[in-house]
Amino acid sequence: MYQKQIEQLVVLQAVDAEIRILEVEVRQAPLELSDLENRLTQLKERQAQVQERLDILTGQQKRLEGEIEDDGHKIKKSKNKLMAVGNTKEYHAMMREMDSMEKLNRLREEERIAVMEEFERQNEAMKEVNTEMEGLMGDYDAKKATLDERIGKAQGRLDSLNKRRTKAGKVVPPPILGRYEFIRSRIDQPVIVSVTEGVCGGCHIKIPPQSFNELQKGKQILGCPNCQRIIYWVEHTPKIDEA
């Protein structure tokens, strides 16, 4: 009975160690997407900024083209009227007005060209953002699919381990199981260790000879007087089947 209890305690410890690793993976795995999600958010913000700039430039371009066209019509009409002017004063006044409109249109044309050049630059920036976003979305989808698969496998293994843990716990008497849980909550693994040549495998300190003699008899579960871990003689090391 002693050997069976030691065996199940070792099984319990191995199961708990794997459960701890898997629980960390299940908890941490989704965080691996955080960096990609943050970068996607930044790209979407950049995309919105570029689009806003493009919209403004489009509006400026339409306004300038409309103003250039309107003043072009006015200049044309003024030229036609110029032939019918009856006096020099009126003629010079119309010439000054036409010169002013033509100068204004030349400035508008320069502004329109600058707007078009800036529009092209922003258009290229948008293409770059879209290309980067497409690549990032591909990475995100691939990683998410992989993580979902990993979490699924880890969760499945956790379910299996928890069943095995329950089964192992039924073999160990409640006082000893409670002692195991108490120690596990206060120290790092391992909780149950072997004793070789009278030395505890947990704290590496020799146990008292009397305790060692009792341990070799293999009749009761003992603890290390120094580190309080559950101990068993190395010659009683159980063979544990993987599951």
pLDDT in tens, the chain (243 residues): 788 888 888 888 888 888 888 888 888 777 878 888 899 999 999 999 999 999 999 999 999 999 989 988 888 888 887 777 768 888 888 888 888 888 998 999 999 999 999 999 999 999 999 999 999 999 888 888 888 888 888 888 888 888 888 887 888 888 888 899 899 888 878 999 999 999 999 999 999 999 999 999 988 899 999 999 999 998 887 665 555
How many CB atoms within 10 Å of residue 202? 23
Domain ranges for the chain, please list them: 2-25+171-236, 30-153
CA dist., res. 224 & res. 211, Å (int): 9
Prediction pTM value: 0.54
Q: CA-CA distance, 139 to 150, in Å (whole number)? A: 16
Which listed CATH number (1.10.287.1490, 3.40.190.10, 2.30.42.10, 3.40.1360.10) goes with 2-25+171-236?
1.10.287.1490
Fold of 30-153: Helix Hairpins (1.10.287)
Burial of 230 from C-beta contacts in 10 A (0-12 / 13-18 / 19+): buried
**Residue whose token pair is 């191995």:** 14
Give the tokens for residue 122: 């922003």
DSSP state letter for 172: S
The token pair at 155 is 């969760």
Whether 223 contacts 207, CB under 8 Å: no
